[in-house]
Amino acid sequence: MPFNSFPSEDARIEKKDGSITGPYDAIFAGNTIVVKDAHADIEEGDVVLRKLPSGKDERSEVTVATFFDQHGSLPAHYQLKFRKGAPKEPTKAGNTIHIHGIHGGQVQIGDHNTQNIVNALQELKNKIDNADASPEQKKEAAGLLRNLLTHPLITSVLGGLAGGIVS
């Protein structure tokens, strides 16, 4: 086989969703990586992981993935063009911050993450306060919510934002 004369190494493919496939038998030849497995799932934006002698992974982002069918004695394979040093996580665009109307002198600022949770918890507290229930039931439900929102793990996840709901 034509590829057998080239030294090959294992290559793993990190998909955009973070899953890893492989290892695949590959040839690292200058600015091209040849993956000798016709059934490999490789596309632009994936990251080729190559284990270095140091034990670290060399990361190369696939910029062009071309599949070649078998041609004569040359087996089916992928040829990959790449960019070295692919990020471990997709780079995030700048945050979009939404400022909501002023309510009682307060301004809400959120990034559709924690703020949505805080808004939902505030709505829950309002529904408890306005529920058709006895004062004792409302007090008990508000106490359970307070216990939830003051739990150390919950406050570490949500930060101090949720604490203001039950204070």
pLDDT at 61: 93
Which residue do the tokens 């793993």 mark?
A: 12
* Lowest model confidence (mean pLDDT) among 43-47, 64-68, 112-116, 118-122: 112-116
What 3-state DSSP class applies to 151?
Answer: coil
Residues 72, 131, single domain; the answer is: no
Alpha helices in 7-162 (DSSP H): 114-129, 135-150, 152-158
Cα R_g (the chain), whole angstroms:
27
109 belongs to a structural domain = yes
Residues 59, 110, single domain; the answer is: no
Residue 127 makes CB contacts below 8 A (sequence gap 6+) with none
CA 3 centroid distance within chain: 36
Give the model's confidence band at 35: pLDDT under 50 very low, under 70 low, under 90 confident, else very high. very high
Residues 11, 80, single domain; the answer is: yes
The domain boundary residue, chosen from 84, 112, 131 = 84
134 belongs to a structural domain = yes
* Lowest model confidence (mean pLDDT) among 18-27, 97-106, 113-122: 97-106
The domain boundary residue, chosen from 84, 108, 123 = 84
The domain boundary residue, chosen from 29, 50, 84 = 84
* Sequence letter at residue 55: G
| Number of structural domains in the chain | 2
Provide the domain limits for residue 76.
Answer: 2-84
104 belongs to a structural domain = yes
Residues 55, 126, single domain; the answer is: no
**Can you give the pTM of this predicted structure?**
0.50
